[in-house]
Amino acid sequence: MGSTSETDGEAPLGEIAALVSALCWAGTSVALARLGTKYGGAVLSGLRFLIASPFAIVLFFATDAVNQVRHAPWIAIGAVLLSGVFNYLVGDTAYVRALPRVGLQRMSPTATALWVALSTLGGVIILHEPAGLDLLVGGASVIVGTFLVVSGQVRRLHDPDGPQRIGALPALGLMLLVAGSWATSTLLIAGGRDGLGPIAVNAIRIPAGGLMIATMALVTTRGQVLKRLPEPRDLPLVLAVGILGTALGSLAYVYAVAEAGAARAVILNSTSPLMVVPLSMVFLGERPTMRVGVGTVFCLAGTLIVVAAG
């Protein structure tokens, strides 16, 4: 029920990689929360990919990933590129643009829970990944816990001023678009990479994602984004976001999907909001609510069930 490359008695490396990825994304979220008060999302998104791309490319040429890409069928490379389009260009962009219309409180927890549910169902139904009671119970527990943790955090945040709010059905449509894009990206990596390892996948996805986001930022802001670059004192944090959050986090996530399967990787990766709680307390001065505490218990229980069964 765990990694396809593991044998009995060995550590569930795929599941561990998913948790490492979740920790990276948690740290990135806290860092972006601090930087986001001074810089726009387009600037930060473009910079984190610009910083991560050289590391992905260096790893690519320093390993056997070059031969993997050289011998990979074009359909596999296309699937990896398409996963980047769905993840970064469609999913992330739709999510950011939907926040003013849907509201942070509704969008964040619901989109996360839907992403977990759709990716897990896709992994089981489309990719024929094994599913047992442990995956169902653990996955449901993480979905509930994630919803409680994230909704508990965002409740104290003010939604940005923006366009008029939309109704329930259009909001649900946007949530499904975002979650469906993220889930499609995950399933494309899991089922379409055709032997491409995590380093090769990252070397394709990250530079392509950075190029797409940078191009969109330049076009939509008419070049004004170049005038809002970070100050020198903020560069260490920006570098950490690019190297640890994007380069390492993406590599760990792709490895988790390849080794543990889409269903387990997504469930464990979605525990990132749980890890945000202590980080936000230390670095942002936030204090958790009772809802966050209950959600944390659900997330921990679900994670332990999935990992123990791996």
**Where do runs of H (alpha helix) occur along 155-286?**
168-192, 198-221, 235-240, 249-260, 262-269, 272-283
Is the residue at 3 inside a domain?
A: no
Is the residue at 6 inside a domain?
A: no
Is the residue at 8 inside a domain?
A: no
**pLDDT band, very low/low/confident/very high, at 161 (cuts 50, 70, 90):** very low
- Are 146 and 273 contacting, i.e. CB atoms less than 8 angstroms apart? yes
What six digits make up the tokens of 35?
């930087």
- Confidence check: pLDDT of 307 > 80: no
Predicted pLDDT of residue 170: 79
Is the residue at 2 inside a domain?
A: no
Neighbour-count burial for 174-210, b at 16+ CB within 10 Å, e otherwise: bbebbbbbbbbbbbbbbbbbeebbbbbbbbbbbbbbb
Is the residue at 139 inside a domain?
A: yes
Predicted pLDDT of residue 97: 67
Is the residue at 27 inside a domain?
A: yes
Least reliable range by pLDDT among 117-126, 193-202, 281-290, 293-302: 281-290
- The domain total for the chain is 1
Integer Cα distance of 21 and 248 in angstroms: 8
- Confidence check: pLDDT of 78 > 60: yes
- Confidence check: pLDDT of 218 > 50: yes
Q: What is the mean pLDDT of residues 143-162?
A: 56
Is the residue at 141 inside a domain?
A: yes
Please write down the long-range contacts of 94-98, taking CB distance under 8 Å and 24 or more positions apart: 94/174, 94/177, 94/178, 94/181, 95/178, 96/41, 98/171, 98/174, 98/175, 98/178
| Structural domain range at position 230 | 13-309
- Confidence check: pLDDT of 222 > 90: no
Is the residue at 194 inside a domain?
A: yes
